[in-house]
């Protein structure tokens, strides 16, 4: 480094700046891509859970309705 002239040092500084800014831009784009992927996975998981909850509620309503029908049938059998 001691035998470098001014132009060589300037070129080294510019190359370092370009390399640094390129690395930062690359890392930021990777960060943004990862965040987008994680957000999409989170949304998909939320939608899956919501659909699962809707199905569970529907099955619960069906079960209750079936139980009510069974109880009504038993009552009508006793009355007859």
Average pLDDT, the chain: 94
The model's pTM: 0.61
Q: What is the DSSP string of 16-61?
A: HHHHHHHHHHHHHHHHHHHHHHHHHHHHHHHHHHHHHHHHHHHHHH
Q: Which residue has the higher pLDDT, 37 or 78?
A: 37
Given a cut of 80, whether residue 80 has pLDDT beyond it is no
- What mean pLDDT comes out for the span 34-51? 98
Domain ranges of the chain: 35-80
- Token pair, residue 21, equals 């800014």
CB 12 within 8 A of CB 4: yes
Residues 35-40: what's their mean pLDDT? 98
């Amino acid at each position: 480094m001691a035998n470098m002239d001014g132009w060589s040092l300037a070129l080294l500084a510019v190359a370092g700046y370009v390399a640094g800014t390129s690395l930062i831009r690359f890392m930021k784009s990777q960060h943004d891509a990862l965040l987008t992927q994680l957000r999409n996975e989170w949304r998909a998981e939320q939608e899956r859970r919501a659909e699962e909850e809707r199905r569970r509620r529907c099955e619960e309503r069906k079960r209750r309705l079936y139980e009510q029908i069974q109880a009504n049938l038993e009552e009508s059998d006793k009355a007859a």
